[in-house]
Chain A
Amino acid sequence: MTLLEQFQLWLGSIWPEWAAYITPAIIGIVVVLGFVLTTVIIFIYLERRLLGRFQIRTGPNRLGPEGIFQPIATALKVLLKEDIVPAKADKVVHWIAPIVVFAPILLIFAVVPFGKGAIFTDLNVGIVYVVAISSLSTVGIYMAGWASSNKYALIAALRAVAQMVSYELPVILSILGVVLMVGSLSMNQIVESQSIPFILLQPLGFVIFFLGTVAEMNRCPFDLLEADSEIVAGYHTEYSGMKFALFYLGEYGHAVAYSGIIATLFLGGWQGPLLPPIIWFLIKIVAVFCFIVWMRATLPRLRVDQLMAFAWKCLLPLAVINLFIIAAEVLWLPESMPWIMVVLNFAFAGVLILLWSKLFTLGGGRVEV
């Protein structure tokens, strides 16, 4: 039973039933929104400072001690900007698109476990829900690109759809490995069954899932949707003001949500010694996010056909092989000796990644015209 449900039961004993039902829901919404917005602001600050460090400069350090108020100033600036809609834009779709991008990200947090029992709804199909909801943002991105009546935005929108469809498959297949081992789709169960974090038990699955999610949140080296050196700002080229702020929030909200899911599925969620669970969970989220920022500061971008090839020829076969290996191990290996599995899977991961890096080249590209 989650904390929220206990609260609801207690309220039901003193208040009328409808109030006991609505009040926790409102509290939940406020808490999620507050959590997402504060984390996003912290992440924006963190990313800027970290990028500064990676790029031998200081990063923002003027506003407040060590520049901690810079993201707030940025938010204010963006909100006060004039809202421009292109003359030939499809106005309704242009207006709805940012909401469609941002709303699913908030919904993801409904099933993210922050601690023991600290989860809004412990859906028995939690992870399926996450996969289903998170791909909704793509629709919003496509709407934005289409409605802007801008060719850069249109290219980005088409890239977005191709990219999301391709990377969804390896992501889901690597999640299946986790689900096989846990025997449940509930996020809480997934965390509780990780006495050894799944990153050790399924290193290959983790690599595939991580790369797939990085691609889904449009982060470097898969940031083709916002490839500023090619298509200016991608799908939000024609957005400004509050609508742009929603896209910006969506981008970082995505990062927070996916960092949370990576932490839940593979890093043992809120489990950890000494510190309270919520702190452990936040530490893991921030660690994942810092790793993503590191990648962003280091790697160049893939080309669009290489991106597709990477998903279909590299990640997908590896994910299928990983699934088979995990299934065989769950079936035949004794459950009492997980460390055998750790050793075996690290060996498998090493061999397979080496093999693929030798067989697979990200070449090609020229078309006869």
Chain B
Amino acid sequence: MAIRTEPFILNMGPQHPSTHGVFRMRVTLDGEVVLDVEPVVGYLHRGIEKLAEGRTYTQNIPFTDRLDYLASMTNNLAYVLAVEKLAGIEVPERAEHLRIIMAEMMRIASHLMAVGFFLNDLGAMMTPVLYMWREREKLLDLFEMVCGQRLTYNYMRVGGVSHDIPEEFLPALKRFVAEMPGLIDEYDQFLAQNEIVLARSKGVGVLPEDLAINIAASGPVLRASGVQWDIRRGDPYSIYDRFDFDIPVGSAGDCYDRYWVRVQEMRQSVRILEQAIPQLPQGEVCAKVPQLLRPPVGEVYGRIEAPKGELGFYLVSDNSIAPYRFRIRPPTLINLTALRDMVIGWKVADLIITFGSIDVCLGEIDR
């Protein structure tokens, strides 16, 4: 006699240990097997896009800090690049270099968190997270030196950056750059050679190449699926065309590849930092920009390669002091659209690690 069974709906989140914020998934389960996932977003909605229409271009920079709060510097950078494109502002050479240094430091910090929390989702009891935190802490100390903040930096300005770096910054950064490759090797050796990590993450949550392109995935999620696309190379902004770095590309598109791509990207970011520090020229850190910026009428889409993918700002100007339209293209919301296709048929535990391997930040998804 067969026992009659029926699938049940599990409401995972918004309060759940591994939803990385206030994310909610309505999961249909058959025992442990995931039959359907319906993401529910909006618990952190603050209406930033609308709020920004009532503030000046400079006043909007702090809003961008609150998008992906684990990568505030790159959010700042994406926004100010879009505004500069709109208003046609030239940025001094020193500011360009400082921006690149900050962006790559931010990428390392963000990937450290992504890798650490991915391991936490695998069940590794906070240990990898705390080691990653130790390294991230050094970066946060560096950020604190330049702008006084540790999470929401508000450092980039239209036309440059807000402050020049203090003199103790460069020696500290050099120390970090010198020790970081060894530390990455050490952690990678511990994590990527662990039999349980491999068994849990290899072949799990596969995102095929064609699907990744069709949903407009970007960042490590896209590159893990085997697409060599990095905006720093494909559509260079700032001065990235002067630096020599590789674009790590995965092959299988599974959770392990997404982890692997992030680790390799940290190595490449260290490489960029190594090149950028000796090149750093002297000079102004901010161009002369009017206090109340009135860009000419027009629209612009500026995009950068943020740690989590393509972060774009679409701005429309009506020649007033505030943007007429302020639209954000968040990378993780768009990467997240593939979640359902990646986890159907896998177990609950795989749903959690696949979600973790996309590396979402709810501040950015809900805006």
Within B17-39, which residues are at the interface with A (CB < 8 Å)?
17-18, 30-33, 35
- Tell me if B18 and A362 are in contact (CB < 8 A): no
Chain A residues, Cβ within 8 Å of B337: none
A220-259, CB under 8 A of B: which get 1 and which 0? 1101000111111000000000000000000000000000
User: Which of B192-200, B207-215, B235-243 is found at the contact surface with chain A?
Assistant: B192-200
Q: Which of A51, A232, A303, A368 contacts B350 (CB 8 A)?
A: A303
User: Which of A20-28, A54-62, A322-330 is found at the contact surface with chain B?
Assistant: A54-62
Chain B nearest Cβ from A326, distance in angstroms: 27
Any chain A CB within 8 A of the CB of B16?
Answer: yes
How many A-B contacts if CB must be within 8 Å?
101
Of A158, A231, A366, chain B has the most CB atoms within 10 Å of the CB of A366
- Tell me if B203 and A363 are in contact (CB < 8 A): yes
Q: Which of A229, A297, A365, A368 contacts B120 (CB 8 A)?
A: A229
Any chain B CB within 8 A of the CB of A355?
Answer: no
Chain A residues, Cβ within 8 Å of B121: 229
Chain B nearest Cβ from A251, distance in angstroms: 15
Any chain B CB within 8 A of the CB of A124?
Answer: no
**How large, as a class, is the contact surface on chain B?**
35 or more
* Docked complex Cα distance between A320 and B301 (Å): 67
Pull 23 A–B residue pairs with CB atoms less than 8 Å apart, ordered by A: A55-B130, A56-B130, A57-B130, A155-B10, A155-B32, A155-B348, A220-B123, A223-B123, A229-B18, A230-B123, A230-B348, A232-B17, A299-B194, A300-B119, A300-B200, A301-B123, A302-B200, A303-B350, A304-B32, A306-B199, A365-B346, A366-B345, A368-B345
- For the complex of A and B, list the 6 residue pairs with the smallest distance between their C-beta atoms, beginning with the closest: A301-B123, A362-B199, A300-B122, A229-B18, A300-B124, A55-B130
Chain B residues, Cβ within 8 Å of A363: 199, 202-203
Residue of A with least CB distance to B118: A300
Known: A299-B196, A300-B194, A302-B200. 6 other contacts (CB 8 A): A51-B125, A229-B352, A299-B194, A301-B123, A303-B350, A363-B199
Chain A residues, Cβ within 8 Å of B200: 300-303, 306
Chain A nearest Cβ from B228, distance in angstroms: 27
Q: Given A300-B124, A303-B200, check contact A151 B10 (CB 8 Å).
A: yes
Interfacial residues, chain A to chain B (CB-CB below 8 A)? 51, 54-57, 151-152, 155, 158, 220-221, 223, 227-232, 296-306, 361-363, 365-369
Chain A residues, Cβ within 8 Å of B204: 365
Chain B nearest Cβ from A355, distance in angstroms: 15
Chain B nearest Cβ from A220, distance in angstroms: 6
Chain B nearest Cβ from A133, distance in angstroms: 29
Chain B nearest Cβ from A248, distance in angstroms: 17
Chain B residues, Cβ within 8 Å of A155: 10, 32, 348
Q: Which of B16, B125, B349 contacts A297 (CB 8 A)?
A: B125
Q: Given A56-B134, A297-B125, A363-B203, check contact A228 B194 (CB 8 Å).
A: no
- Tell me if B123 and A297 are in contact (CB < 8 A): no
* Docked complex Cα distance between A365 and B353 (Å): 14
Residue of B with least CB distance to A299: B196
Q: Which of B32, B126, B344 contacts A369 (CB 8 A)?
A: B344
Q: Determine the main DSSP class of B at the interface with A.
A: mixed
- Tell me if A230 and B10 are in contact (CB < 8 A): no
Chain B nearest Cβ from A6, distance in angstroms: 46
Any chain A CB within 8 A of the CB of B127?
Answer: yes
Chain A residues, Cβ within 8 Å of B202: 363
- Tell me if B125 and A296 are in contact (CB < 8 A): yes
- Tell me if B126 and A367 are in contact (CB < 8 A): no
Chain B residues, Cβ within 8 Å of A230: 18, 123, 348-349, 352
* Docked complex Cα distance between A262 and B140 (Å): 46
- Tell me if A301 and B194 are in contact (CB < 8 A): no
Chain A nearest Cβ from B342, distance in angstroms: 11
Chain B residues, Cβ within 8 Å of A367: 33, 345-346
* Docked complex Cα distance between A228 and B31 (Å): 18
* Docked complex Cα distance between A231 and B347 (Å): 12
Of B17, B197, B348, B349, chain A has the most CB atoms within 10 Å of the CB of B349
B330-367, CB under 8 A of A: which get 1 and which 0? 00000000000000111111101000000000000000
* Docked complex Cα distance between A152 and B123 (Å): 16
Any chain A CB within 8 A of the CB of B8?
Answer: yes
* Docked complex Cα distance between A189 and B32 (Å): 44
Chain A residues, Cβ within 8 Å of B30: 369
* Docked complex Cα distance between A363 and B200 (Å): 8
- Tell me if A55 and B126 are in contact (CB < 8 A): yes
Chain A residues, Cβ within 8 Å of B124: 298-301
Chain A residues, Cβ within 8 Å of B18: 228-230
Q: Which of A151, A227, A300 contacts B8 (CB 8 A)?
A: A151
Chain A residues, Cβ within 8 Å of B199: 302-303, 306, 361-363
Any chain A CB within 8 A of the CB of B326?
Answer: no
- Tell me if A304 and B347 are in contact (CB < 8 A): yes
Chain B nearest Cβ from A74, distance in angstroms: 18
Q: Which of A51, A227, A299 contacts B349 (CB 8 A)?
A: A227
Any chain A CB within 8 A of the CB of B131?
Answer: yes
Chain A residues, Cβ within 8 Å of B119: 300
Chain A nearest Cβ from B257, distance in angstroms: 16
Within B26-62, which residues are at the interface with A (CB < 8 Å)?
30-33, 35
Residue of B with least CB distance to A151: B10
Chain B residues, Cβ within 8 Å of A57: 130
Chain B nearest Cβ from A236, distance in angstroms: 14
Residue of A with least CB distance to B131: A56
* Docked complex Cα distance between A174 and B199 (Å): 26
Q: Which of A223, A229, A299, A305 contacts B347 (CB 8 A)?
A: A305
Chain B residues, Cβ within 8 Å of A223: 123
Chain A residues, Cβ within 8 Å of B194: 299-300
Chain A residues, Cβ within 8 Å of B197: 300
Chain A residues, Cβ within 8 Å of B131: 55-56
Chain B residues, Cβ within 8 Å of A231: 348
* Docked complex Cα distance between A302 and B204 (Å): 13
Chain B nearest Cβ from A246, distance in angstroms: 23
Chain B residues, Cβ within 8 Å of A220: 123, 125
Residue of A with least CB distance to B34: A369
Residue of B with least CB distance to A361: B199
- Tell me if A303 and B347 are in contact (CB < 8 A): yes
Chain B residues, Cβ within 8 Å of A305: 32, 347
* Docked complex Cα distance between A155 and B33 (Å): 11
Chain B nearest Cβ from A338, distance in angstroms: 33
Chain B nearest Cβ from A56, distance in angstroms: 6
